[in-house]
Amino acid sequence: MKIKAIFLLFVVLLLIAAPMNVATAYKAGNDKWFSVHIPVQVSYSSMPSGWHNAITKAMDSWSYAGANFSFENYSGAYLFYVNIKQGQLSDYETLATESGSHGILYSDGKRQKWGSNITVNSQRSFSTYGASNTHDIESVILHELGHSLCLGDINSPTTSVMYRSLSIEQMKRVLTQDDIDGIKAIYG
């Protein structure tokens, strides 16, 4: 009996100490886009001309993360899409916001996402090349596209693209394993 108790204690301790492969960026709720091809419409007229390449790179990072979906540049009218624009936000401290609209709520509690609007704060300074006292626009767009894909802000790890804040001059242009695990948990 004593050996069984020690063995059980050992197994419990092993399970507690074992690293768990849980994506902290995954936001509970089971929301996701109803299509695996997500068109992105960018209002380049409201943005500096150099942002196009940074936005495309951010879209590609998520598209090639190994999950079953892709972002696609699209300039025409579409039933569903991600819209990216620059505009004035009521909170100066906010770098950008993402607001999504959802379609049908199914009996299993899952919702299908039909639209997303990303607004970059025109009151803040951004750069594509790491200029001093600016925020990196590619890092900001990469983070906000994660929200449009139904990932949430996280508190740890701080290296994650989906970490809750981005410091001035900080670049987070590469998805971490946690970001990738989160997107795969939603889209397979």
Q: Is the pLDDT of residue 21 over 60?
A: no
Q: Give the pLDDT confidence of 38-76 residue by residue, as tens digits.
A: 888 888 888 888 899 999 999 999 999 999 989 988 776
The secondary structure element, H or E, covering residue 142 is helix 137-148
pTM score, whole prediction: 0.82
Q: Give the Å distances, CA to CA, from 152 to 87, 96, 161, 164.
A: 22, 14, 11, 9
- In this prediction, residue 64 carries a pLDDT of 96
User: How does residue 166 score in pLDDT terms, banded at 50, 70 and 90?
Assistant: very high
Q: Is 153 left (phi over 0), alpha (psi -120 to 50) or beta?
A: beta
Which class would CATH give 24-187? Answer: alpha beta
Q: Is the pLDDT of residue 106 over 60?
A: no
Q: Are 17 and 30 in contact (CB under 8 A)?
A: no
Residue 118 amino acid letter: I
What residue segments make up the domains of the chain, in order of their start?
Answer: 24-187
- In this prediction, residue 24 carries a pLDDT of 60
Q: What is the mean pLDDT of residues 148-171?
A: 92
Q: Give the Å distances, CA to CA, from 47 to 43, 84, 139.
A: 7, 10, 16
C-alpha span between 113 and 186 (Å, rounded): 12
Helix, strand, coil % (nearest 5) of the chain? 30, 25, 45
C-alpha span between 105 and 114 (Å, rounded): 12
Question: Rounded to 5 degrees, what angle do the CA atoms 141, 172, 57 make?
Answer: 50
- In this prediction, residue 145 carries a pLDDT of 93
Percent of the chain with pLDDT over 70: 75
- In this prediction, residue 150 carries a pLDDT of 87
Chain position carrying tokens 């620059």: 86
Q: Are 96 and 55 in contact (CB under 8 A)?
A: no
